[in-house]
Amino acid sequence: MIDLHSHTHESDGTCSPAQLIDEAVCAGVNVLGITDHDTFAGYDVAIPLARAAGVELVCGIELSTKLHGRSVHLLGYFLEQDRMAEFREWVRDMQESRRDRNIRLVARLRELGLEITLEEAEARQRGMTGRPHFAQILVEKGYVSNYRQAFDDYLDESARGYVWRREPQFAEGIERIRNGGGIASLAHPVRVNGDVPALMPELCDWGLNAIEAYHSDHGPAETDTYLGLARHYGLMVTGGSDFHGVVKPGVLLGTGCAGNLNIPEDLLERLREQAQMSRR
Ligand code: AMP
Ligand code: ZN
Ligand code: FE
Ligand code: FE
């Protein structure tokens, strides 16, 4: 079984790289893509562990980008280790921009009368501190009654606590991934806030390579729609559960939600071939 979309505790998952590899072995996943948000830290730690466990690890990342002002996730796969120094440098830059945003976000929330510190937000996880962590703290401290309200009242782009951060445009994300020898895939298209079929010509112009037709948020009709778009535009197909561990208890590695995921293994061959070709 293959699964090309998973998270470790280096972004917002709950499993360590070692636990994730164990999960893969238990679930019968023999090809695993680790796609942490804006970091390779989990992937790097997992390399020797996967080798020892007989799991083939696919180098991946999930970038937060902006597309016409909206937040859209972009997956990068098979980045070439010797060619990706520049890409890693750029990813570190993005982490820096997030940290800078978090400092200003804490200042803004304190201005609004909320007792919150950067230290407590950063203590929530190892890598990447994001707005979801701030939301949890606001809920726990009773400033809001739930996660949704934390965004509505403070953290959403339209809310009074929002502070801007430098985020790459979707097109830049594609270009960076491809310059690193990788393959760029539109993550969970069902979550794109917009008309995906209408966006496709533009995304293809920018060099998008693939679309994540198989995802635990997709029903059969959605998967068919995205497979159809891939066929129509000559794109490759990727798929994964988007496993996050106990924070998303309904999503299992390899099989998704109640077995709704069934990723054909032959899509890997095409991805590998393309990655090889783009390196020549
Ligand atoms: P960040 O990258 O730190 O700016 O946080 C972005 C993450 O916050 C997204 O990936 C979502 O998980 C979450 N998020 C953003 N806006 C909302 C919203 N309005 N409601 C709930 N979650 C949101
Ligand atoms: Zn995530
Ligand atoms: Fe995502
Ligand atoms: Fe994800």
Q: Counting atoms of ligand 1 from 1, which one is nearest the CA of 134?
A: 3
For ligand 1, pick from 99, 139, 155, 191 the residue to mutate: most ligand atoms within 8 Å of CB.
Answer: 155
If we measure between CA atoms, which residue out of 208, 272, 264 comes closest to residue 239? Answer: 264
Residue 162: pLDDT over 90 = yes
Distance 5 CA to ligand 4 centre (A): 6
Residue 30: pLDDT over 90 = yes
Q: Which amino acid is residue 154, in one-letter code?
A: Y
Measured from the alpha carbon of residue 35, the closest ligand is 4
The per-residue pLDDT for range 41-52, each reduced to its tens digit, is: 999 999 999 999
Given this model, what pLDDT does residue 127 score? 77
Measured from the alpha carbon of residue 33, the closest ligand is 4
pTM of the model: 0.93
122 vs 81, more confident: 122
Task: Let me know the angle formed at the C-alpha of 248 by 8 and 136, rounded to the nearest 5 degrees.
Answer: 85
| Pair 62, 187: CB distance under 8 Å | yes
Distance 228 CA to ligand 1 centre (A): 29
For ligand 1, pick from 11, 12, 71, 118 the residue to mutate: most ligand atoms within 8 Å of CB.
Answer: 71
If we measure between CA atoms, which residue out of 28, 85, 82, 32 comes closest to residue 60? Answer: 32
Residue 183: pLDDT over 90 = yes
Count the alpha carbons within 13 Å of 96 in the hemisphere toward its beta carbon. 6
Distance 154 CA to ligand 4 centre (A): 24
DSSP 3-state of 90 = helix
Structural domains of the chain, with CATH: 2-91+183-279 (3.20.20.140)
Given this model, what pLDDT does residue 275 score? 87
Question: How much of the chain exceeds pLDDT 70, in percent?
Answer: 99
Tell me whether residue 130 is exposed, middle or buried, using C-beta atoms within 10 angstroms of its C-beta: 0 to 12, 13 to 18, 19 or more: buried
Distance 192 CA to ligand 3 centre (A): 10
Count the alpha carbons within 13 Å of 49 in the hemisphere toward its beta carbon. 17
Measured from the alpha carbon of residue 241, the closest ligand is 4
For the chain, give the mean pLDDT. 95
Residue nearest to atom 3 of ligand 1 (CA): 130
The per-residue pLDDT for range 105-123, each reduced to its tens digit, is: 999 999 999 999 999 999 9
Q: Counting atoms of ligand 1 from 1, which one is nearest the CA of 73?
A: 10
Residue nearest to atom 20 of ligand 1 (CA): 151
Q: Counting atoms of ligand 1 from 1, which one is nearest the CA of 130?
A: 3
Residue nearest to atom 6 of ligand 1 (CA): 131
Banded model confidence at residue 81, pLDDT cuts 50, 70, 90: confident
Banded model confidence at residue 280, pLDDT cuts 50, 70, 90: low
- Ligand 1 site: residues with CB under 6 angstroms? 64, 130-132, 151, 156
Measured from the alpha carbon of residue 187, the closest ligand is 3
